[in-house]
Amino acid sequence: MKLNELTWPLYLLPNHREVWEEDKVMYIDNEYQTKIVDNKNYLGDSLATRRIKIINTKDRDYPVCSMSTVIFDIPDIIVAKSKNRLFIDSKGFLFKHTRSNTRSLIYRKVDRKTVLPDGKVLCHCRDIFRPILIPYLPRIMPKYLGLLHIYGDYMLYSLEQESFKDTWRKI
């Protein structure tokens, strides 16, 4: 499955020895104990809905696995730190991400910035056909943007004060 076919957000599973599914219930086992990740026996279109029902069940056999790292977009997957790099999407699809494709990483000067009322920033760069959205108001406005060329479009990778030589990243 390709990253653009997943249901966002994604969740990074904690480091573990084993993950398995039995009778529509997904379990994770680390060195110390077994925990429940998802139970598809409960009604609900999303992982979050089913996990709330699991948490509210008093007679479950195992504790619920905490998933504290939320991934909202592809650059977050690239920088996610984990030994196992095992993720689950919002529908409950489990997948392992291995960095197998290389993509161009280019740096472009920001020509114009527009701060939106909600605190986001639109940056217009030379040679980029559309504005790039920074989803928050940075403390220091960037002079350059690092952009990954993915799926025929550009994705924000980094905010910089100086330009760097164009390069590549494995994603």
Q: Determine the pLDDT at residue 170.
A: 83
Give the residue numbers spanning the domain of 164: 102-170
Q: Determine the pLDDT at residue 72.
A: 85
Instruction: Say if residue 70 is exposed, middle or buried (CB neighbours under 10 Å; 0-12, 13-18, 19+).
Output: exposed
Q: Determine the pLDDT at residue 76.
A: 77
Report, as ranges of residue numbers, the positions in the chain whose pLDDT lies below 70.
1, 81-84
Q: Determine the pLDDT at residue 111.
A: 96
Same domain, 18 and 78: yes
Examine the fold and report which residue of 96, 114, 129 is the final residue of a domain before the chain moves on. Answer: 96
Same domain, 106 and 91: no
Q: Determine the pLDDT at residue 69.
A: 87
Q: Which of 6, 100, 25, 105 is nearest to 65 (CA)?
A: 25
Number of domains forming the structure of the chain: 2
